[in-house]
Structure 1
Amino acid sequence: MNADCSGPLDAGGPVLLIGAGRMGGALLEGWLACGLDPSSVFVIDPALPEFSVERLKRAGVRLGPQPGELSNPAAILLAVKPQMAQGALPAAATFAGPDTVVVSVLAGTTLATLSAGFPKGQALVRAMPNTPAAVGRGVTGCVAGADVRPEQRDLADRLLRAVGDVVWVKDEGLIDAVTGVSGSGPAYVFLLVEALAKAGVAAGLPAELAETLARKTVEGAGELLARSAEPPEILRKNVTSPNGTTAAALEVLMDENGLAPLMERAVAAATRRSRELAG
């Protein structure tokens, strides 16, 4: 994991993870890598394969707590698939206490939908992480419900920061745009690699070489962007010599029908669909 852990992660109490699939599993790995005591972590996921169950047991994580075994945990993380939310919310409500902050990474599930499954006044955070969380390089957009106290927001932030950066918005409506940019964004980058490789083949390169060049170029450009204090516009200009090869390519990509309007339409479509899913 590449997440920057500022120190041993201490949740101040038990943490219950409901759903340990790709995103839930990434969060769990991030917590343990950041020093969270595994004996303070409880996991509920009846769909876990046996090898995952054994691996979690070896790590010291506790599986399938009964209601009497865990009450008022510091945090509950809801990380099941959206279609499983109907069953997960009652389970979470069974364990939640008055001091518990419930953090949901359920796509398309609003704070209003979440609040209907919990007692009035429950602290709720809606979060939208993305798949690079699996390697500690994710970015998560969050919005806090009205009943979240500052220390609860801080705990949610620390738990989510174990898999990458965290940004907060005040308006829940912006989570749909967050979904359109960063939630779905990794797929846009992967498509760029596919398209760049295909363009290389069309230009005469062997397919394997074209894919290697495309993949490594995007990997390297992303790392340069991560390490540089310069904005993307300046980095782009630094690569572009007047009347050179890059300038010729950018003339195509930056025309009125080029990449910018296409990306705007793509993000708008994802944002619109996110709103539809949220009802």
Structure 2
Amino acid sequence: MEEKNLENQQKGQEEEKKPEEKPRIVYHTLESDLKELKESGGQPEFESKGKKIEFDNEIKEAPQEVSEEAPKKEPAFLEEMPEPKMEVISPPSFKEKEEEKPLAPSKKKISSKLLIIILILGGVLILGGLLGYFFVYPNYFKKEEISETFPKEEPEEKPSAPSLEEEYVSLLVSPANLRSEEELSALSLILLRSLLEKEAGVVEEIETLKEIVIYYQNRPLSFYDFFRTILPEVMASEQNLDLTLEELFEKQLTVTLFYGEKAIQLAYLGLIKPQKKAEVEKLVRDLIENPNLKISLKN
């Protein structure tokens, strides 16, 4: 087996060493082609092996179909119609009729006197009309002077910001570092607390005092509305002491936020009316003794 394998390997190496045969290139020239044609008698050297097809010289015409034409119908009337005769119509002459009509009676001539009277009356009427138009009419009927007036174009009014009926007055002796303005839509404890919490959520520097100006119905929020909304227990103390906040305090209000290191402190200021300090102390004492106040302050 090993000898056969060696022989096969040697044969393969010999086949690889054999040079590849190059394709043979045959060149044709015009002279060589002409010689070949003369030698072959001008005919191609190959013969067709197929069978000849014989054609009949006679061309048979296809039988034409005889179309049976319908018999022509003769006209029903064979009599010749006489040609219409032309009659010449001449316009009637009116001469005879005019001669037959009797002559109309001639109009009477207007007398010369009547013509003179008509002319005089016409002249008088014309003169009267002219005098009335130029002299009488202007004196009794004055001409109205017609003046063309055009509407003035008014400038468009721009919507202005709602004007405040009252100006805000701060109760601080020295102005605060910051100031913020807010609008309260309704006297509600929830809305008022959310407004104050929103302002307290704004990050500010430590030891900064911010003044909050609250508006209600285009006016600065009064001390009475603020105090009764933030602490509803005040109304019970007013009934117990038979007093009102309007009798004890001025309406000005100032609300502040102080940003301390540990907490943010809310403060609201009001003015006590003259000679009302004792009544205010009674009101505060009654308010502190109210058990519901602790619940409100905790909430």
TM range (shorter): under 0.3
Which has the larger strand fraction?
A: 1
More helix by share: 1
- TM-score under structure 2 length normalisation: 0.21
